[in-house]
Amino acid sequence: MHFKIIFLWFLLFPVLLFSQSEAIQQTLENLSENQDILLDYSKLIEELEMLESHPINLNSDQIYQLHRLFLLNEYQLENLKSYILENDHLLSVYELLLIDGFTRENIETILPFIEVKPLEKMNLPKLNQLIKYGRHDLFLRYQRKLQTQNGYQNFENGDNTNSYYLGNADKYYVKYKFSYSRQIQWGFTTEKDAGELFYKEPENKQLQSEIDNYFHKGFDFTSLHLYGQDFGLIKQIALGDYHLLFGQGLTIWTGLSFGKSSDAVQLKRFESYIKPYTSSNENGFLRGAAIHLGQKHWSTVLFYSKNKQDATLQIDENGNEYVSTLLYTGLHRTSTELSKKAILDIQVFGGRFKYTFKTVSLGFTAFNTSLSKDLISSYTPENLFDLRGNKLTNYGIDYAFKWWKANFYGEVALSSAGGKAIISGISLPFNSRMKLSLLYRNYERDYQNLFASALAENSSPNNEKGFYAGTNVLLSKKLRLQAYVDFFSFPWLKYKQDSPSHGIEYRAQLFYDYNQNIRMHIKFKYKQKDVNLGSENTGEVNFLKDETKSGFQYQINYSLNERFELRNRIEFSRFLDGNQEKSLGFMLYQDINYHSVNQRFGSNTRLAVFNTDSFSSAIYAYENDVLYAFSIPAYFGQGIRFYQLLNYDLSQKIKCWFRYSLSYFPDQESIGSGLDEISGSIKSEIKLQLRIKI
């Protein structure tokens, strides 16, 4: 064994030269290219960056995080677990080459995030240890659109107080975190969005009286957290703001989750139980306390939360207040938006128990949700089975076991209204060259849950049936195919679907690595679903017709040397509505990425041209941004887009970023609509960020 490790050390020595910053960028870009919807990547970015400073010990039970953060696939994770079970523990990270599914390239990618060392019993650190070895991390960010939007032109003028934004166009962001190893973490995040009031009150007396009950000086949003882990029986503990991630997300999952992507076989989720909340997203988290207790074969989580939610308030004929809509934008720029801020209390309490023995695990989760006001949505046909009232209880049982080579997993959930939901999957790696994933889901129309986030075509897991099949095939040493097909149906009505409907989606992506410096891929995607078609005579909807969207993408990445990398992408989209009217789209971009030899300076530049007939044929593309931020704009209309991102390390403790982006639409006299409208054909934005790490 020791001889093998020494041999692998010499074999993989060049891997040690791999840049950690490049590892984060590569992981994010590989993931973002597969996502065509806007998601908050800031938490994922933070966790990857955290792993750079505090790598995961492969001998610990934290290895599941490597799968959740897309650093390992399920096949690699299961084989790693089996290897450790047979050999008790790893002696070196280079033993990974002895495990089926790992290649030199895989290890090169994950090396900055992992380590191997004996397990140590963790105790509560003393105060002098916290002071001496603790680390402080402070982020300051400023952001502003350079052109004046309509909402700022009539500032505090006119009788209609909703005809302008209350605050200025600046966006401020402050984030502080103290960490001691991976064991203790606490900090805060605070933010003011563009258009929101800050410290200065409006001079308009009428406006002052309107917002007097809602506006409090300072940042519009603030989040606090205290988190600890690995204290013997106490596996995790959180106070303040936190996430819960259980099972397959069908009962409760409040953290980052991804649905269908071109990584066609990575569907199974590995729970993290409790995670501290450190994002600036003003919704989708819990506020209170949670504790995770456990030993080798069992674990239990107890949690309590009382958080506030933006909502639209209504008054019935008897004068009673109720909530008609829950709001998730987090924006409070006008008097109306401000009046809807934090008017609903949501209280949650419950627990989870899980038992694991070798390759079998079984978990049970139950929690209760209470609202301070009744939630009563409109009585339209598509909303008939929505939650009404102020009480809801959810239960769930999740399972996972291994038989032969196949991994079986799933979850069954129930809501107090009687609705049920089930998700069940099989991951079958035939060998290291071919893997297959199958997943069945059946979410009843009256399944109600405010905190579920499972794989679904809908925005929430209800009123949906589906069957998914995906495969990953290594065709040759340089050629790899990933493909999936998803059949889905909606047994009840939906928005713009006035009768039960169905659809299909499939995607195929072929990757070709010519050599270490040249990589390319082609991707084809297609989605068809039923939508309403209006009658030309009466304007009433009376039947459904097929609506389809397809796209083709080709991308090539090539490194000129150790400092320069070029990326080219060409993409086409085609949208066909129910009347068989076409909308076509096209985009071409050139990226030039540079980093200095000493890694202190970096530059990312993009120039893109695009032309789409409508928003229906819009094309989405990931853009590099300052650390902990993300940008995935929709390219639509006819125009040119450019951005320049610069980063420079002033010292080991101080880093700074500057980003400038510009969109030019030559045939448009204005951009946007309403209060966000800009006169002219140019929209640009700057972003500055400073990081101080001690």
CB 441 within 8 A of CB 463: no
Identify the DSSP state of 151.
Answer: H
Percent of the chain with pLDDT over 90: 56
Q: For the residues of 626-692, what is the DSSP string, one character each?
A: STT--B--EE-SEEEEEEEEEEEESSSSEEEEEEEEEEE-TT-SEES-GGG-EESSEEEEEEEEEEE
Whether the per-residue pLDDT at 30 is higher than 70: the answer is no
Q: Which of the two residues, 615 and 29, has the higher pLDDT score?
A: 615
Range 240-248 average pLDDT: 96
**Bridge partners, 275 (sequence order):** 243
Domain residue ranges in the chain: 2-115
pLDDT tens digit sequence for 366-386: 999 999 999 988 888 888 899
Task: Write the CB contacts of 508 (distance below 8 Å, at least 6 apart in sequence).
Answer: 481, 482, 483, 523, 524, 525
Range 614-628 average pLDDT: 89
- Which residue shows structure tokens 């997993």? 409
The verdict on pTM exceeding 0.85 is yes
Q: Which of the two residues, 264 and 220, has the higher pLDDT score?
A: 220
Range 126-132 average pLDDT: 85
pLDDT tens digit sequence for 457-468: 988 899 999 999
Whether the per-residue pLDDT at 151 is higher than 60: the answer is yes
- Confidence (pLDDT) at 422: 98
Q: What is the mean pLDDT of the chain?
A: 86
Indicate the SS3 state at residue 34.
Answer: coil
Q: What are phi and psi of 65, to 5 degrees?
A: -65, -30
